[in-house]
Each structure stands twice: as C-alpha cells, then as structure tokens.
Amino acid sequence: MQPLTNRAKNVDRRPMTLAERAYLPAILKGMGITFSHLFKKKPTIQYPEEKRPFSQVFRGLHVLNRDEEGRERCTACGLCAVACPAEAITMEAAERQEGEENLYREEKYAAKYEINMLRCIFCGLCEEACPKDAIYLSETFAPANYDRKGFIYGKNDLLIPNPLTDREAYEQAAGGRVRQPVGSR
C-alpha cells in the first residue's frame, strides 16, 4: 500500500539480544536518568507563600470602582446584569439623598449589589457593558469557602477601598487593570 505520509516507521520485531534480555543495562540507564533529576530545579511554586503572577488580562474577582474623589461610580443602571450570560448579578437601586454627594457620584446608586461567584463565569461582559467604568475584573480569584452563601459577594466585598482615605489599598486593589478615572464618558 502506498504510504500516505513519510512518517510511518517499521516496528523492530527482532528478538531481544542478550544484553537487552539481561534488563540490567536498560535499568541502569533509567536509574541514571532519574538520578540526574535529583539535581534539576523544581518548578514547584510554594503556593500560599509564593504566588504565580497573573497576566494583565486575567479576568478574576470583580471590583466596584470609585472615582478620584472616592465616590462610587455605579448608578445601578442594570446593564451589567442584563449583559451577564450567567445571571450572576443582582442589584437594587436607590436615590441619592441630600448630603450624600461625597458618597455617590450621581443621583442614583446601587443600594445592594450582589454577584454570585458560583454562577459567574468570569467572561467580563459586565465590564464591557458598564457605561460608567464602575465594574472591573481584577487579577485575583475567589478564595475557597465552606458554604454557598459565602460565594455571594455583596458591596462590602466588591467595593474598591477609598482612594482618599486608603490610597495604598486602593492602588493594590486596582492593580494594573483598573484604568484611572477619566471623568464621565
């Protein structure tokens, strides 16, 4: 039969020679190979102490963003919830009261904002849908938890630290990914 490719190799079916049947040369060779591995560098990352750097485009836990004055950017428009293919986002809107201008950027805000991390598929469509730059996916992932309730992240878990009061934590949470506020789009 005409071979289809040139890669076919004939199997060597000759009976084993005495050296091969004695097993020992092959075993010693194998032991040499494994012994050389004693001196190789281990690729292990000692996880809790040492962490693998994430890529710049890694889509991890969500962050609810604030503007440069520390006001929440979210207006509870619900576009992220609509865009979400896994229906992981729920929110309740509320009206900004007199005297709350330093807390919320616009007249409407999210009183309740929950993401179920077990439903979420980390696709990033919420981030794309948001007209206010209010939600971003960060470079961390949801840690393990003992019950399902623990995976429903509320505003406390999601909101980025206030840049006015806690600049360092804000920058750490923002990472390289959350763009600096550029004013309303």
Partner 1 sequence: MISTLLAMQMDWALVLEKFLLIVVVVSVSLGFAMYSTYAERKVAAALQDRSGPNRFGWFGLLQPIADAIKLFSKEDIIPNKANKVLFVMGPGLAMLAALMTSAVIPWGDKVVLGGREISLQIADLNIGMLYVFAVVALGVYGVMIGGWSSNNKFSLLAAIRGASQNISYELAMGLSLIALLFVTGSLSLKDIVVGQQTNGWNILYQPLGFLIFIVCAFAECNRTPFDLPEAENELNFGYHQEYSSMKLGFYLFAEYINMFISSVIMATLYFGGYDIPFFNEAASSLHPNILALMGFGALMAKTVFFVFVFMWVRWTIPRFRYDQLMNLGWKSLIPLALFNMLITGAVVLYLQNGWPKF
Residue 11 or 38: the one with the smaller Cβ distance to partner 1 is: 38
Q: Is residue 44 a contact point for partner 1 (CB under 8 A)?
A: yes
- CB of 144: closest distance to partner 1 in angstroms? 17
The CA distances from residue 146 to 61, 151, 170, in Å, are: 18, 9, 28
* Cβ(134)–Cβ(72) below 8 Å: yes
Residue 109: strand pairing partners: 94
Q: How far is the CB of 60 from partner 1 (least distance, A)?
A: 26
Q: Figure out which of the listed residues 1, 8, 11, 38 binds partner 1, where binding follows CB under 8 A.
A: 38
Binding of residue 6 to partner 1 (CB under 8 A): no
Element at 137 (helix H, strand E): strand 135-137
Task: Report d(CA 74, CA 108) in Å as an integer.
Answer: 8
Residue 27 interacts with partner 1 (CB under 8 A): yes or no: yes
8-state DSSP, 93: E
Q: Phi and psi for 136 in degrees, rounded to 5? A: -135, 155
- Judged by CB under 8 A, the stretch of 40-48, 66-74, 105-113, 171-179 that binds partner 1 is 40-48
Binding site residues, partner 1, CB under 8 A: 23-24, 27, 30-31, 33-35, 37-38, 40-44, 46
